[in-house]
Structure 1
């Protein structure tokens, strides 16, 4: 009887240890977080709360005038770019509580959703155009203005950007 109790206690201890490690991991490393990278990020851009950057759709982060205004402003800035392939360019970045943007990350795929690379000058020019947008409105939760992630996608077809969403 004593051996069974010891085995039960030992297995309970290991289970508690594993659960503690799992909970710690889940709370400290969320998939999709964009951490500051001194090699590519502007050191002047700061999140207001590093531990609490939410998704834009859960708190209402948007652009003044909505998606239509983003398209209108960006089309003029990137209308004359030529690409060597069709596909999608996705920018993910942070809109902080001060309505500033930073920590841009980009992913490109071809029409078959396989990773590819577009002209790096075009990628840089699109990012600079997004950075120049001044109508960002940080989202709120219970009257608290929060940092959030935002995503912009560019559809490239016939060597031109045909849609922004």
Structure 2
């Protein structure tokens, strides 16, 4: 009988020790979260929300005002015209730069996506993409988003519509 008790105890011990393993998710906290990548992101850039008990970052469209840039989108378009960024190649498509604006108005965690005119994932022109990424990183007029009196982190994006190698429109 004692062998049976020992076997039973061993069985329960094994069963409960397996249950105690911590599940680590390979998925982000919320859909669309950008994970920090030491190869792409500045080490000093920090999200502010977690320190305030907010476990996620908002999207640009949350809250009363959707576009929070000093001078609005027109200021970005005017600065882009002055930069005269274009491609020698007569390409058409879209280049989207998505990033995080923290509660201090600082930007980081930039990610790039490119599509042809048919919205298929296709590299257009690496040099143009790098120029537009550098331009987007240089924009320093982003303002913190405020929701219910609290400054929060939020994701923003700029999509550059490319026609014949030139930026014809900035979205949103």
Superposition TM-score tier, normalisation by shorter sequence: 0.7 to 0.9
RMSD: 2.1
Determine if the alignment matches structure 1 residue 42 to structure 2 residue 42. yes
Q: Which residue of 123, 127, 134 maps to 2:129? A: 123
Does structure 1 retain, via aligned residues, the 8 Å contact 2:116–2:124? no
Is the alpha carbon distance of 1:118 and 1:140 closer, same or farther for their aligned partners in structure 2, counting shifts above 3 Å?
Answer: same
Q: Which residue of 93, 118, 123 maps to 1:112? A: 118
Does structure 2 retain, via aligned residues, the 8 Å contact 1:84–1:118? no
Q: Counterparts of 1:79 and 1:92 in 2: how far apart (Å)?
A: 19
If the length of structure 2 is used for normalisation, what is the TM-score?
A: 0.75
Q: How does 1:51-70 map to 2 (within 5 A)?
A: 51-59=55-63, 60=65, 62-70=68-76
Structure 1 residue 67: Cα displacement: 1.0
Q: Which residue matches 1:142?
A: 148
Aligned with 1:150: secondary structure? strand
Q: What runs of 5+ residues in structure 2 fail to find an aligned partner?
A: 1-22
Q: Which residue of 66, 70, 88 maps to 1:82? A: 88
Q: Counterparts of 1:44 and 1:82 in 2: how far apart (Å)?
A: 35
**Higher relative helix content:** 1
Is the alpha carbon distance of 1:91 and 1:78 closer, same or farther for their aligned partners in structure 2, counting shifts above 3 Å?
Answer: farther
Q: Which residue matches 1:159?
A: 165
Structure 1 residue 65: Cα displacement: 1.1
Q: Counterparts of 2:86 and 2:115 in 1: how far apart (Å)?
A: 21
Q: What runs of 5+ residues in structure 1 fail to find an aligned partner?
A: 1-20
Is the alpha carbon distance of 1:139 and 1:160 closer, same or farther for their aligned partners in structure 2, counting shifts above 3 Å?
Answer: same
Structure 1 residue 147: Cα displacement: 0.4
Q: Counterparts of 2:124 and 2:155 in 1: how far apart (Å)?
A: 23
Does structure 2 retain, via aligned residues, the 8 Å contact 1:138–1:145? yes
More relative contact order, 1 or 2 (CA 8 Å, 6+ apart): 1
